[in-house]
Amino acid sequence: MRASRGLVFFDRDCSVCTRLARRFRNTLAKCGFGLAALQDPRAAALLGLPPAELLREMRVATADGNVFGGASAIIYLARQIWWAWPFHAAARLPGASRILDAGYRWFADHRRCASGTCSISQKGGYTL
């Protein structure tokens, strides 16, 4: 695996996340990014996160030591992929960052429901 520019960490227990990782594997590899599961025992140490925070959101760890999470990680990756630049540009519009953060947070909090193993009721009492 060529990961000269960094690693993209995803939740391998989330079927949606895994499908997206597979779909974009080649694109990310061409840009110098490798894929890694957040559940990998080395992930917490590489990201410098406590176990309770590890699965909160996807992360991108760059070769120069930066770590981006959630919507910021997606926006960062969009900047690295030539055909995704419109998404990166749109994310810079006033208020867009807050909307993207809220949308990502909602998805991240509900991703287990999409996989059929919903645990939302333990977090905040939501039911779907």
Domain residue ranges of the chain, discontinuous segments joined by +: 6-123
Question: pLDDT value at position 112?
Answer: 67
pLDDT at 118 > cutoff 60? no
Split at pLDDT 50, 70, 90, the class of 125 is very low
Indicate the burial class of 17 (C-beta count within 10 angstroms; 0-12, 13-18, 19 or more): buried
Exposure on the CB side of residue 113, measured as CA atoms within 13 A: 12
Question: pLDDT value at position 2?
Answer: 60
Question: pLDDT value at position 128?
Answer: 29
pLDDT at 48 > cutoff 80? yes
Longest CA pairwise span in the chain (Å): 42
> In the predicted model, what is the mean pLDDT of the chain?
86
pLDDT at 79 > cutoff 80? yes
